[in-house]
């Protein structure tokens, strides 16, 4: 079991470019697993954790409803945003500058073979990180992601999750609103959930901007503990 995870910060990258890169890493890992099964090759499978910020983009999961996007292509173009239907679970979501997106491409055979546990640990990583900023974040029953003031009229989502897995290899991941322009969420029904607000870390803290590098380091520290992983920083060009 290889618990070493290669961490790469891609900076700000186009969504489709990053998706293609994820797919490359994902398929490379699957190929190793298939070779091991067919030839008993005994090759170790790699694990990756990508950080990225995307230019404005809306993505719709394979079970999502296009009606949750409230504007047409012309309006999206006017707002400088793109749209993609993608192969993760979940409904519609938004990515943009100031939002911290994390894509773990893990072989869960190296950790545990339980997708439910995987999602809950990603949520816990975010919950523990937000606690360091004095925020009490939590889960909302039946709604994947991380929320504030659950069970009240003021419930609001701060982090969305959506993943894909095949042969226990994961891709896609989480999107944490750090310094996000929340106005872009007005163009959709976030994750298909009506009457629920969204928020960001800088809004909750009453700051113009939160140090996003600091947030990354906190997330990685909790990820390392929760997954009992060994992290290795690397530079990666996409």
100-144 confidence digits (pLDDT tens): 999 999 999 999 999 999 999 999 999 999 999 999 999 999 888
- The counts of H helices and E strands in the chain are 5, 12
Residue 174 among known ligand-binding residues:
yes
Q: Is the pLDDT of residue 157 over 80?
A: yes
pLDDT higher at 7 or 188 = 7
Q: What is the pLDDT of residue 237?
A: 55
Could you confirm whether 191 is annotated as catalytic?
yes
Domain hosting residue 128, numbered range: 4-234
Average pLDDT over every residue of 28-48: 96
Residue 175 among known ligand-binding residues:
yes
Q: What is the pLDDT of residue 144?
A: 86
Q: What is the pLDDT of residue 194?
A: 61
The total of structural domains in the chain comes to 1
Q: Is the pLDDT of residue 191 over 60?
A: no
- Residue 65 contacts by C-beta under 8 Å, 6 or more apart in sequence? 91, 92, 192
Residue 183 among known ligand-binding residues:
no
Task: Name the CA dihedral angle for 229, 234, 237, 238, rounded to a multiple of 10 degrees.
Answer: 0
Average pLDDT over every residue of 172-188: 93
Closest CA to 171 of 26, 13, 14, 18: 26
At 199-238, the pLDDT tens digits run 999 999 999 999 999 999 999 999 999 999 999 998 765 5
Q: Is the pLDDT of residue 29 over 70?
A: yes
Q: Is the pLDDT of residue 82 over 80?
A: yes
pLDDT higher at 59 or 201 = 201
C-alpha 222, offset from chain centre: 15
Residue tagged active-site, from 100, 191, 210, 229? 191
Average pLDDT over every residue of 185-192: 75
- The CATH number of the domain where 42 resides is what? 3.30.930.10
pLDDT higher at 52 or 162 = 52
Q: Which residues of 13-30 are buried (b: 16+ CB within 10 A; e: fewer)?
A: bebeebbebbeebbeebb
């Amino acid at each position: 079991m290889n618990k070493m995870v290669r961490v790469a910060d891609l900076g700000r990258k186009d969504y489709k470019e990053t998706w293609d890169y994820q797919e490359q890493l994902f398929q490379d890992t699957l190929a190793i697993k298939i070779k091991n099964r067919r030839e008993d090759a005994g090759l170790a499978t790699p694990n990756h954790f990508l950080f990225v910020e995307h230019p404005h983009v809306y993505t719709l999961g394979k079970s999502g409803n296009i009606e949750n996007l409230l504007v047409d292509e012309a309006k999206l173009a006017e707002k400088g945003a793109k749209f993609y239907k993608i192969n993760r679970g979940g409904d519609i979501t938004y990515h943009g500058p100031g939002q911290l997106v994390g894509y773990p491409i893990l072989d869960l055979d190296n950790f545990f073979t339980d997708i439910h546990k995987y999602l809950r640990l990603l949520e816990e990583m975010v919950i523990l990180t937000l606690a360091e900023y004095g925020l009490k974040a939590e889960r909302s029953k039946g709604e994947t992601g991380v929320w504030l003031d659950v069970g009240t009229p003021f419930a609001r989502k701060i982090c969305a999750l959506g993943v894909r897995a095949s042969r226990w290899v994961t891709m896609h991941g989480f999107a944490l609103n750090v310094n996000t322009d929340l106005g872009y969420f007005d163009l959709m029904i976030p994750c298909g959930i009506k009457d629920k607000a969204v928020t960001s870390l800088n809004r909750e803290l009453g700051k113009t901007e939160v140090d996003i590098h600091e947030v990354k380091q906190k997330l990685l520290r909790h990820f390392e503990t929760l997954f009992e992983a060994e992290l290795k920083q690397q530079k990666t060009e996409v």
